Amino acid sequence: MSLVKGRVAKEIEGWKPFGEALRADDRELYMEMMERVCEYLPSMEVSAEPFPSDSLFMGLIFLQHRMIERLTERIEKLERKGR
């Protein structure tokens, strides 16, 4: 494991108490989100110096943005279909 991956993994682990304090349904969503953000580890490795939390947050923001874009596309497609 690279030094940066280890630091990002440690950062994610540091947020574990936050996730554990959430309600059960939110906790499940939080854990899924943290697992999915690992898709961006290659990008995080490029930018994680010296603050791995910045890279983590950017990955989470991008994950949310991607989901918003996909949902927007689906809504627009359904609206066009309904006309």
Domain count within the chain: 1
Ranges of H-type helices in the chain: 3-14, 16-21, 24-37, 41-47, 52-82
Residue 20, SS3? helix
Which pLDDT belongs to residue 52? 67
Separation CA 56–CA 14 (nearest Å): 12
Task: Domain of residue 18: give its range.
Answer: 3-82
Q: What is the DSSP letter of 40?
A: G
Which pLDDT belongs to residue 76? 96
Which pLDDT belongs to residue 49? 61
Q: Tokens in use for 69?
A: 């874009």
Which pLDDT belongs to residue 1? 55
Which pLDDT belongs to residue 45? 72
pLDDT per residue of the chain (83 residues) written in tens, 0 to 9? 566 677 778 888 888 899 999 999 889 988 888 888 888 777 777 765 666 677 778 788 988 988 999 999 999 999 999 87
* Residue 4: CB atoms within 10 Å: 18
Q: What's CA 59's distance to the chain center, in Å? A: 5
